[in-house]
Amino acid sequence: MADAERSGETATETATGPDAVAFDYDVAIVGGGPTGCSAGVFTGRYGLDTVVFDRGRSSLQRCAYLENYLGFPGGVDIETFYELIHDHVEEAGCDLVPDLVEAVEPVGGDAAGTETADTDDADAAGPGFEVTTQDGETVTARRVVAAARYGGDFLEPLGDDEMFVTYEYDGETRTKFDRDYADIEGRTPIDGLYVAAPVSEVNVQAIMSAGQGARVGRSVITDHRLERGYPEDLARHWDWIRPEAELADEETARDDWRERFDSRVPDDCDLPEERLRELREADVERQRGMYVSEETVETRAERGRERLADHLGVDADSAPVSDSDSGSDSE
């Protein structure tokens, strides 16, 4: 699990009640290309135990050279790009499993959307899924994100005929995954199942696919926070780091965050006051964790350059310095 400093996920938020179901992972992502890795970076950094299954046959492998992905002005070869995104998901705290997923089915074989037993515990988990790989390994996960652009046969055991459509090809009737099955944020009619790919008009460029993966990753985090008891207006999570210099007075800031939290709690919220207070303090700690010192920024920046240089096979300290960086005049 990603550390609390980066994610803001606290013991209060992840505590489970006596009736909660135990899973191997909070999130299982099927697909290790830009879409799945982007989703995994968000869920992993938040602190959700995440596994990313990469079959090694992402559609991007058919690309000769990637030239339009922001941040690579000279383009980037596919092998280096894949090494970078896989390194990133592992840095975010995800497990990366190089195996093909053959089936996703409900835990216990019941329909994934079936209501569970009534409980007053806000932390009780839902039905969950079993994810089985080509090697015969099976893990369980509370939520599953489909992020494989080609095909969705591994979702057939879930038993929802609405996720597949028929079409005619060369005189034969065939079926394929419905690219409009999920809504724009990746949610589907099946509780806990999200689709980041294939999606209509989204997975046509690597950078668009990565953006959709991030969107779906945030949907997963939002729903996780809703399960923890956060009111809807407070469930969405923003993953960004801010300079500590902007934090003028920490105690004043904490009071402001508490006031802002309370102002967004609906009048009809039925959470016990003690639970609401726990969530409020967890949210305050999460916001405090967004602010980092200048020294921390410099340390992370240096480490980031070193990691990038390592993938490029160069020495980070030997990179050429431009005239503007060295302070010399240009003519």
Q: What is the pLDDT of residues 150-207, one digit of tens each?
A: 778 999 999 998 999 988 888 888 888 999 999 999 999 999 999 999 998 887 899 9
Query: Is residue 324, in this structure, part of any structural domain at all?
Result: no
What confidence tier does 21 reach under pLDDT thresholds 50, 70, 90? low
- The answer to whether residues 61 and 177 belong to one domain is yes
What confidence tier does 20 reach under pLDDT thresholds 50, 70, 90? low
Residue 123 confidence (pLDDT) above 80: no
- The answer to whether residues 204 and 310 belong to one domain is no
**Residue 135 structural domain:** 4-228
Distance CA 24, CA 20 (A): 13
Domain boundary among 228, 263, 280: 228
Query: Is residue 202, in this structure, part of any structural domain at all?
Result: yes
> Domain total for the chain?
2
Q: Where are the beta strands (DSSP E) in 14-88?
A: 25-30, 50-53
**What confidence score (pLDDT) does residue 61 get?**
78
Distance CA 277, CA 274 (A): 5
**What confidence score (pLDDT) does residue 149 get?**
80
Angle formed by the axes of helices 273-288 and 250-263, nearest 10°: 130
- The answer to whether residues 313 and 196 belong to one domain is no
Distance CA 219, CA 187 (A): 8
**What confidence score (pLDDT) does residue 152 get?**
85
Mean pLDDT over residues 199-223, rounded? Answer: 94
- The answer to whether residues 216 and 249 belong to one domain is no
Mean pLDDT over residues 289-316, rounded? Answer: 92
- The answer to whether residues 114 and 192 belong to one domain is yes
- The answer to whether residues 219 and 166 belong to one domain is yes
Identify the top-confidence range among 28-32, 118-122, 173-177, 318-322: 28-32
- In sequence order, what DSSP letters do the residues of 46-64 get, joined into one string? HT--EEEE--S--GGGG-S
Q: Tell me what the pLDDT averaged over the chain comes to.
A: 86
- Which residues lie below 8 Å from residue 130, measured CB to CB, with a gap of 6+? 103, 104, 105, 106, 107, 138, 139, 140
- The answer to whether residues 53 and 185 belong to one domain is yes
Query: Is residue 330, in this structure, part of any structural domain at all?
Result: no
- The answer to whether residues 30 and 125 belong to one domain is yes
**What confidence score (pLDDT) does residue 81 get?**
94
CB 74 within 8 A of CB 50: no
Query: Is residue 206, in this structure, part of any structural domain at all?
Result: yes
Distance CA 256, CA 276 (A): 16
CB 194 within 8 A of CB 18: no
Q: To the nearest whole percent, how much of the chain has pLDDT over 90?
A: 71
Query: Is residue 329, in this structure, part of any structural domain at all?
Result: no
Q: To the nearest whole percent, how much of the chain has pLDDT over 70?
A: 83
- The answer to whether residues 207 and 116 belong to one domain is yes
Query: Is residue 258, in this structure, part of any structural domain at all?
Result: yes
What confidence tier does 59 reach under pLDDT thresholds 50, 70, 90? confident
The three-state secondary structure class of 291 is strand
Residue 88 confidence (pLDDT) above 70: yes
Indicate the range of 125-129, 152-156, 216-220, 290-294 predicted with least confidence. 125-129
Residue 323 confidence (pLDDT) above 60: no
Q: Which of 102, 194, 91 is nearest to 142 (CA)?
A: 194
What confidence tier does 57 reach under pLDDT thresholds 50, 70, 90? low
Q: Are strands 242-243 and 291-292 parallel, antiparallel or unpaired?
A: parallel
Domain boundary among 228, 254, 277: 228
Angstrom CA distances, 170 to 164, 167, 173, 174, 176, stand at: 19, 10, 8, 10, 15
**What confidence score (pLDDT) does residue 330 get?**
40
**What confidence score (pLDDT) does residue 201 get?**
82
Mean pLDDT over residues 214-238, rounded? Answer: 95
- The answer to whether residues 220 and 299 belong to one domain is no
- The answer to whether residues 89 and 46 belong to one domain is yes
CATH of the domain at 158: 3.50.50.60
- The answer to whether residues 118 and 38 belong to one domain is yes
Distance CA 32, CA 59 (A): 10
Query: Is residue 235, in this structure, part of any structural domain at all?
Result: no
* Higher-confidence position of 44 and 169: 44
